[in-house]
Amino acid sequence: MTQSLTEMAKDLVQELIKNDLLAPDDMHQQLIKVHASLLELKNQEDRDLNGTWSREGEMAGAGQPVDWRKSIRKHAVECLVCGQTFKQLSARHLSQHGLDPRTYRQHFGIPRTQPLSAKETTAARRRVVQDIRPWEKAPTYKQAHKSEPAKPKRTSKKNTATTS
């Protein structure tokens, strides 16, 4: 027989108390946290079993895979869950769909290094960073690139045999 999420959370918290890893006073708070974690895991498992995201924000059956490259355009990026367009997909917007940027990328096969912003927005940020050059203001960079006192050049002593 399967246990409900509440029963599982209760059992986990009781074990923490038995093993002196949790004070009995903190039981209620921990129970809420454990239940929320279990619920999130269950929802994630259900999504993984059911297939990919649909435009309505619900899981769709095994349909055609979504090409994420088409959603990132020059001046806009389209949310693959709801279809809205933005200059950047914020964590706040993704949280409305029960996702964070990491899980959004995982669901749609987007590389973790791919920015979730329009190409022009990414390019503008890159230009600003190149102009500001913040790495040169870092203490470790300054210390490594301090002008060192000029040392006299060493001349190599070659075997200068004179012929007479």
> Does residue 59 fall inside a structural domain?
yes
- Side-chain half-sphere of 16: how many Cα atoms within 13 Å? 18
Distances (CA, A) of 13 to 4, 5, 19, 86, 120: 14, 12, 10, 42, 49
* Judgement on whether residues 17 and 57 belong to the same structural domain of the protein: no
* Judgement on whether residues 70 and 116 belong to the same structural domain of the protein: yes
* Judgement on whether residues 113 and 82 belong to the same structural domain of the protein: yes
Longest dimension (CA), the chain: 105
For 100-143, what is each residue's pLDDT tens digit? 999 999 999 999 999 999 999 999 999 999 999 998 888 888 88
Residue 163's pLDDT is 54
Percent pLDDT > 90 in the chain is: 39
- What residue ranges of the chain have pLDDT lower than 50? 1, 52-63, 164
Residue 160's pLDDT is 54
- Tell how many helices (H) and how many strands (E) occur in the chain: 6, 2
* Judgement on whether residues 72 and 112 belong to the same structural domain of the protein: yes
> Would you state the structure tokens that stand for residue 68, as one six-digit string?
């994420």
- The count of structural domains within the chain is 2
